Amino acid sequence: MSIRGCVIGAGSWGTALAYLMAFRVADVPLWMRNAETAETIRKTRRHPKTLENLELPPAVRPTTDLREALADCELVIFAVPSQAFREVARKAGDFLRGDQSVLSATKGFERGSLARMSEILRQETAVRKIGVLSGPNLAGEIAMGQPASTVVASRFPEVIELATRYMKSEAFRVYGSDDPLGVELAGAMKNVMAVAAGIAHGLGFGSNVLATLLTRGMTEMARMGRAFGANHLTFSGLAGFGDLVCTCGSTMSRNHTVGRMVAQGKTLEQIRQEMTQVAEGVETARSIVELSDRMKVDMPISRGVAEVLYHGRAPKEVLAELMNRPSKDELDNALRE
């Protein structure tokens, strides 16, 4: 039987993951909802809506049949937007076997429940061997063949081994972690910081602001991670500081793009109408505020981003409040043993 790995979700990240897997796997079903898009990919070997210049290898097989896509796959990667994740996971749960390895490559929280994607997979499927994939992985750069690294985290070593075997290449390095909680939290929270970085960029601020945002943003992320019981060192790794540098410093980042558009005076509704793909940091900002209140964790940058996005506050007004907060020891408890 041919080796099979499956990707659920054909946005830019899901498409890039299928592309990566196709160099090591003989058959890579790429599941999507849109039959017209699937047919276009079959005919042209290119996605008509994202990464248009990326020619997909023959191993990548677009399909709208979820049962067929999941059958006999050793490794399944979910890369659907966070707010559609439960619906797709529930449908996939009818076909997934308990012995399959499943990774979430989605970075965010479910609205309302504040559930992480790995939690949704446990709730909606019979799969136990669950992991998360995160890191500084801009799909556009991967599509150009540029070197990149990621981290796969799971309590099951075989999930990490399988993901490494299916995706590692000369241009894509895979690291392992036994802290899926920290990796998942870091991947979600850094998107909010990327929105903040985009706002700063759009307002014309330079390197001093970006450096401050990166370091204080990581402190916030580590603080929340510590409250959840994650390893604070995870936030210094690829899923934390690595991804933070990547998304906060790149204009290719969707969340950074949202921030720049906010700085131009556009409303959230206008931004959503103009963007063709989901920027997870928009919804995550609201979730982080809810988590901050629930767990009594101080998250001033994330809260400031939510104030700008959802309450119409001027970015410069929020910045002034952040700058005038009482001074404190730089290394708070989130960064100490």
**Is residue 170 packed enough to be buried (19+ CB in 10 Å), middle (13-18) or exposed (0-12)?**
exposed
Are 42 and 30 in contact by the 8 Å Cβ rule? The answer is no
What is d(CA 95, CA 102) in angstroms, rounded to the nearest whole number? 13
- Do 62 and 34 touch, CB atoms closer than 8 A? no
Does the annotation count 190 as an active-site position? Answer: yes
| Sole residue written with tokens 């991947």 | 187
Helix (H) or strand (E) holding 143: helix 139-143
Torsion angle, alpha carbons of 94, 95, 100, 103, to 10: -70
List CB contacts of 286: < 8 A, sequence separation 6 or more: 111, 306, 309, 310
Instruction: Please report how many Cα atoms fall inside a 13 Å half-sphere around the Cα of residue 240, on the Cβ side.
Output: 26
Output phi, psi for 9, to 5 deg: 115, 125
* Pairing state between β 130-134 and 5-8: unpaired
Give residues with Cβ within 8 angstroms of 115, minimum separation 6: 86, 109, 123
Closest CA to 304 of 188, 197, 215, 187: 197
Rounded Cα distance between 139 and 54, Å, is 10
Element (H, E) at 166: helix 157-167
Looking at 107, 129, 190, 328, which residue is catalytic? 190
Structure tokens at 193: 């910081």
Q: How remote is the C-alpha of 173 from its chain's centroid?
A: 17
Give the active site residues. 190
